[in-house]
Every structure is written in structure tokens, then in C-alpha cells.
Homo-oligomer: A and B are copies of this chain.
Amino acid sequence: MNTTANRRLPIGVFDSGVGGLTVLKALREALPGEDLIYLGDTARLPYGTKSPASISRYASQATRLLQQRDIKLLVVACNTASAVALDVLREQMQPLPVIGVVEPGASAAVAARPAGRHLVLATEATVRLGAYRRAIELLDPAARVNELACEMLVSLAEEGWHDGAIAEAIVARYVDELGAVAEAADSVILGCTHFPLLRAPIAAAFADSVSVVDSASTTATVAHDLLDSLDLAADRGHPGSVRLLATDGAGRFARVGGWFLGADLAANDVELVDL
């Protein structure tokens, strides 16, 4: 059984930038009593276009910093890092647990559409690694999976152009590339933490019957259940705290990050750290 001290340790959340704040927001909602430390590696974003070796190295450095802050659980809120580096980070964090966003997203999609035709929208690196495909096929051999790299959606989300004609035209252009595959999709998986901000134009590009799956809330549910099963959930009655760390650009982190977190942030809410 864990001690009270262990249960009161924070949860570490790591992302390449601000996108993972959509996961942080879901964690706050699912686990209001937990302290959360979020680290955005803004100095080296985006991870989505980088090589697996670089992504693994960056993710491992970020994890080391969070380990120094005595976390009890690591949530890898970056799809690309989850796709590339989860095994490495699990080894590094032993015996403490690590959750990525790919497996929760894949199981939410399979639960929503058994034997379904899934379309994964993600970054180049996540698509190249086929992480969602493997996770879905493992859970549901009858599923069919297509993946599409949509880099422009990342900058669209970061620019704050979350709806309107340009967002719709960019989504439509990606979807048009797929033709019949897009038309046949039963579920669309938002395989990048930036994409929940673009849920409206993405949903508009597909039939009403399509399930749009967002891994943020599913990941938070997995974290909740895992802490319970490991007897690591905070048992205090007051709300937990949130600390935000970034490797560069506190002002930009606050401005853009506020959209993702759904709360106003100021530059001095963000602590700059070196990796």
C-alpha cells in the first residue's frame, strides 16, 4: 500500500508544446484533486516532422526533468512521442507508470465503432510509425484503418484560426485527397493533441454519422482508473494545483496555450526550464 506522501505526489504531463494542454484540461476535469506538472518542450517543437531518434532523445530528457520533480505518474500527452518513445519512457520511469495518448484513443475508437473503418488524422511522424493502426488492429482485428498526415492543421490550431472558411477549406483539401476512403469512414480519430481545437471544421467535413474521437478525455479516464488501481490517487479534499513548465517562449506559451487549456494564461504563469 502506498503512503499518503506518495499519493500526494504530482502527475507529470509532457508534450512537445502547447497541444497537450487539451489533455491537461481533461486530466483536471477527471482528477480535480491531483497536482499536475505540465512540461511543454516549446524550444524543440514541432516533434511531428522530426526523426524517431531525435523524438526519443527529447522525450527522454523531458521525462528526466519531470522525474526530478518527483512525479508518481507520467502522461505522455504528445501523440508523436507516444507513438515513438513510449517503451523507452516506460523503462526509464520504472517502477512508476506511464500512459500515452495513442492506446486510449485507439480503444475509444474501437469501442465507438466495433469492426469499423477508422480514419486517423495525425502528424507525419505519427502516421509514418503507424502507431494508431497497430493499436487499433491489436484491439479489433476486424477494424480497417487509414491514416493521413495533416501538418497544416497544427499551425492552423496554433494560429488560432479554429473555425471559418480557411479552416474548412484546409480540412476539405486533406479529406479530398482520400476520396472514397474518407466517405466510407465510421470514425475519425483526432490523432494530434492540437486537433480537438479544430473539431468543428473537421466534423463538418464528414457525414453526421461519423464518430469524432478525441484521446484527451479517454486518456484522463485511463489515468483516473490506473491511479485507483495502484492506490496512488490523491486523497485530499481540496483542488489540486497546476504548474506549467516550458523550454522556450513563456509569452507565446501563455497566449496560445490559453486556447488549448480553455483558460486565460499570463507569461508569468509559465516557468522556463532547460532540458
Enumerate chain A interface residues (CB-CB to B < 8 A): 42-44, 49-51, 54, 124, 151-152, 154-156, 158-159, 161, 165-166, 169-170, 173, 248-249, 252
Contact = CB atoms under 8 A, between A and B. Distances in A.
Given A154-B155, A156-B152, A159-B151, A49 B249 contact: yes
A43 B169 CA distance: 30
A166 B166 CA distance: 7
A272 to B, nearest CB: 8
B50 A248 contact: yes
Nearest to A149: B159
Nearest to A156: B152
Given A43-B44, A155-B154, A155-B155, A248 B166 contact: no
Nearest to A55: B248
Contacts of A252: 49, 124
A17 to B, nearest CB: 9
A54 B151 contact: no
13 contacts: A42-B49, A43-B44, A43-B50, A49-B252, A50-B249, A51-B249, A151-B155, A151-B158, A151-B159, A152-B159, A155-B155, A166-B170, A166-B173
Contacts of A159: 151-152
A89 to B, nearest CB: 20
Contacts of A169: 165-166, 169
Contacts of A165: 169
Contacts of A49: 42, 249, 252
A248 to B, nearest CB: 5
A110 to B, nearest CB: 31
7 A-B pairs with least C-beta separation? A155-B155, A51-B248, A51-B249, A54-B248, A166-B169, A152-B159, A50-B248
Contacts of A173: 161, 166
Given A43-B54, A50-B43, A161 B155 contact: no
Contacts of A248: 50-51, 54
A166 B167 CA distance: 9
A141 to B, nearest CB: 31
A242 B152 CA distance: 30
Contacts of A170: 166
Tell which of A51, A154, A158, A169 has the most Cβ of chain B within 10 Å: A51
Nearest to A53: B248
A165 B166 CA distance: 9
A258 to B, nearest CB: 16
